[in-house]
Structure 1
Amino acid sequence: MSEKMKYCTNCGQQIKVKDKFCPYCGSKQPILNQPVSSSFNGGVRSSESSSMQNQFSGYKLNVSIPEPKSVMPNGDFKKDRIFRYRESMGFTNNPNIMVYTMNNYYKKMLLIGSYGILFNKNSVLCIEDDGLLLIGLNASGHFNGKNSFIPNERVNSIHVSNIMGVQLSITIMIDGKNMKLLSPRILVYCPWQKENVNKLVDKYKV
């Protein structure tokens, strides 16, 4: 039996009915008296489903990944590809800050050792004029189409702190709930990371 699903009221991503907070953007979800089942999309045209998901942010978060799709590991870390992808979503200005981030997986690492990183959710965090854009990445460093946008009015605070000088802990409070991310200071295949991490520290360090 397939699990019942619903749509996040903030970013429009499809999530589980039982989720009280969206795993993509962190926003609190209303309690539905009649949850939407996983078969919902079967009765809705794809254009209608896309419109439903996009209406919450005003951006087209589920647009197609730019062609040609990269096959090389970490091939989507090129700045021009990220900017082109953002532009296709409707973002016209360059991001103020753009860094590679990972969900904080320390607890998983303690439980299952180095395999914990395989369960990690990765993204490029873009701090835009009007909110935060998270561009989803898979374990190979390619766009996975799971993007989220959190408008400024839902972001209560952003704080960063150093972890042993090699990476940052980023705490973003959204509607009173914390989303915690990690960001390495340097990535060999990502030349723009160091510069943007420094910008992040200058602006948001506790």
Structure 2
Amino acid sequence: MQSRAHRRQGMVVVSSLLGVLALVGPEAASAIDVKLSVDDAQKALEAGRIPMDKANSPEDVKKVLQQASLATRVGSDPEKDPCGASAILRTKRFRLEAFGRQEAAESKKQKKEIRMPDEFIKKVVDMPNMEVEVQLCGDDEYFAEGAQVAFQQGNKNIKSIDVSPAEKGRKNDGQGPAFRSRFTARFAYDSFDPNGKTKVIVFFPDGKTSEFDADFSKVR
């Protein structure tokens, strides 16, 4: 049985790990994995851990995170089109590899090996829904308030099971509309084709829409 100290340490690590989930993603890509084995999960953790282990400077860490953040993004590339609509797909591998990167960071910080507790790995593997963080620009601070998002695959329209309130728009310093915002929706894994070519459609309360293409076969 784990000691109280070990359990407390595990909870501290988990708290830190949860804080970075929205920032990082996986490095490999070949279709969204709906079902992962324990071995697959461990490999995903390792895939996230190794590049962070090798990062020896703040600049190295920045490069690792930048590379990871692009792997599950669909739509516009923020480096080329900062105000183009896009989304980050928080798949199971996304989360596990993010945990792996944080394991490496915490291990360096505490100067000892830190690993995610098995029960939290299982929780990720068993997740029934995929989170989708939509990012886009508009003309005022509240342009994304009340926005909804759906997938279109062929003749099938897939609605999200819930949507978080959009963030208040932040000033956009680059070209394009004046404000940037984002919101998160959840889609049940069993509601869409994880290998399908998909159109992501954002619906605004005033009847306007914004859409972009996503090839799920290139995302994990």
TM-score by length of 1: 0.26
Q: Whose helix fraction is larger, Structure 1's or Structure 2's?
A: 2
Larger gyration radius, structure 1 or structure 2: 2
TM-score by length of 2: 0.25
